[in-house]
Amino acid sequence: MNKKNNLLLLGAGYTAKTMMRNYPAEHMWGTTREEEKKSEILEAGAEEVIIFNGHEPAAELKELLRKAENILISISPDENGDRILAHHKEDLVENENLRWLGYLSTVGVYGNHDGAWVDETSETNPGSERSSWRKKAEDQWLELYETRSLPVHIFRLPGIYGKGRGPVSKIKSGTARRIHKEGQVFNRAHVEDIAAALEASCQNPNPGRVYNIADDEPAPPQDVLAYAAELIGVETPPLIEFEDADFSPMAKSFYNDNKRVSNKRMKEELGVKLKYPTYREGIKASI
């Protein structure tokens, strides 16, 4: 990110804070729903943190939304779509300085493809309520690109992992469950690779574009956990057949979608070379 540009992170969570730490701009601001998380965001590099609960406008956000040059949105939507647009749409539209806007979505918008490869041109058919909300938010942002020329970029993410989050953390905490469902695979993305892709897009904006940010190797989840357990020298959690697993509805919904996500466009257009192309490199770096 060019040092002269500022950066506003709407929903400064795990991924956004990684971007802040790795690619500091001259000025950075963030939002959070919880007062107790302010200190973490300030430590990551923000000079100001604003409370935005997603249910009502935040007066302190108005000025920032009108002057920010780069904006990253990672706030989860609701049944009405994007929460920022619900309360601050006109503030964004009136921003004449805005050069890049990134919206973090999910590969869940593709729905189930029975293990086949998908890319950004593939049909979207969200299979869960949460993914449907994400697709609605995507459409709202892209409509603003088409009708108001906002420099919108959509990034579809799989399971995010990295230091303090992912297979190793689950193994260490004892919460890991090795679920086996025949033919099931998932992509993942290391948070550092996501931040690098966002930075590359920010350096060379291409408004209206959609990118999958994912690793090179979709893999069965039980294999990933077994690898993590082996690396840290603990007993591998027992294998549980999908039919026998006691799931929450949300956890079970992840297994309804089975697909392999192509990252070809990310590599070719953004020039991203993954630091962690598979879960093996990523898990080793997390230890």
Tens digit of each residue's pLDDT (9 = 90 or more) over 206-263: 999 999 999 999 999 999 999 999 999 999 999 999 999 988 888 888 899 999 999 9
DSSP label at residue 24 = -
Helix (H, G, I), strand (E, B) or coil at 154: strand
Of all residues in the chain, the percent with pLDDT exceeding 90 is 92
- So what's the pLDDT on residue 140? 98
- So what's the pLDDT on residue 79? 96
> Lowest mean pLDDT: which of 137-146, 237-246, 269-278?
237-246
**Distance of alpha carbon 136 from alpha carbon 115, whole angstroms:** 24
Residues facing residue 190 across a β-bridge: 161
Greater confidence (104 vs 5) lies with 104
Residues 6+ apart with CB under 8 A from 232: 168, 171, 172, 287
Give, in words, the CATH class of 6-161+188-215+261-276: alpha beta
Q: Mean per-residue pLDDT for 260-273?
A: 98
**Distance of alpha carbon 82 from alpha carbon 144, whole angstroms:** 12
- pLDDT classification of 4: cutoffs 50, 70, 90: low
Tens digit of each residue's pLDDT (9 = 90 or more) over 10-60: 999 999 999 999 887 889 999 999 999 999 999 999 999 999 999 999 999
Residue 163: is its pLDDT beyond 80?
yes
Which ranges of 116-270 would DSSP assign to H, the alpha helix? Answer: 129-148, 167-173, 191-203, 221-232, 249-254, 264-270
Domain ranges of the chain: 6-161+188-215+261-276
Q: What is the secondary structure of 86-114 as a DSSP string?
A: HHHHHHHHT-SS--EEEEEEEGGGG---T
